Amino acid sequence: MSTETSARESFASEKQAANLAGTLGSCWALIKSRQTGLLLATSVAGYLSARPHTASLRQTASMLLSLFAAVSGTTALNMVFDRDIDARMARTANRPLPSGAMSPSEAALFGAFLVTAGVGIAVWMSPLFAIVIAAGVLFDLLVYTLWLKRRSPWSILFGGISGGMPILAGRVLRTGKVDGLGLLLALSVLTWIPAHIMTLAMKYADDYLEAGVPTWPTVYGFVSARHFIALSNGLRIVALVGAGWLLEICSYGMALLGVSGTVMLGLSLWSICRPSARLNDVLFKFASIHMLGSTVLLTLGTVV
């Protein structure tokens, strides 16, 4: 084999490897791994909220695989539907679809495959578990994204409902029913959504206006949005502490839930009195930290 032929083959191999790496990178970007990981963490808390000491590692792994596929696929399909919006916003213009790194048909096929696989695994595990997951997918895609997102700032509540489904699904898989505690756990996630989304909507208000997406801050004003965030954080404290009490977690866990929730509420109330872009950023970052920390506390509180 000539040196020239060898060089061409080496170049072709490197190009194929680069293309594969690029495709995998685009797929990873489509699923919003941090958001997906956070929702998976809540599902573990929901699952372990019932008879944690007899939990099955195999069932837990299957649950996480099912939810990972369903949540990731839903997120990918959302990006397909919202690619025109993303292209008009500086914050999202570099995502795989508006940047041209992946075609809409490829992303749609990828998302549809994941959703089908996720719901399929769920049906195999438990019909009710599958119904909860499918409800989350349908709320997110049909109600939130296709129906309300471009029409009403109230779409955030329906997006929150779909966000609460993984933690509810985890408990449903373990108990075989939808109960009050499961709904309370779902409420704790739903009330996290405003602090996470509205702070982002305030920071990028001009982007959302340019894209024609009606957000709460741009429709009802920043003051109203800050009050909404404070209200949701207050309800979140009630939901988390109520869930912790029903789960009978240790006193230290209850105290940490109360203190961390109070800090979150305090920050949101302070943002009403002394609004600033910096404090808004702090609220946005702390909202996800608080969500993860509360999930860990509920999880550890049920197994320790």
pLDDT of residue 158: 85
pLDDT of residue 300: 85
pLDDT of residue 11: 47
pLDDT of residue 20: 58
CA proximity to 39, closest of 178, 153, 161: 161
Domains of the chain plus CATH, in order, are: 29-303 (1.10.357.140)
Rounded distance between C-alpha atoms, residue 78 and residue 156, angstroms: 14
pTM assigned to the model: 0.92
Residue with tokens 């800090």: 263
CA proximity to 172, closest of 116, 130, 134: 130
CA proximity to 216, closest of 270, 173, 273, 155: 155
What are 280-286's contacts with CB under 8 Å, separation 24+? 280/199, 280/202, 280/203, 281/199, 281/203, 283/195, 283/199, 283/229, 284/195, 284/196, 284/199, 284/200, 284/203
pLDDT of residue 4: 58
Residues in the chain: 304
Low-confidence ranges of the chain (pLDDT < 50): 11
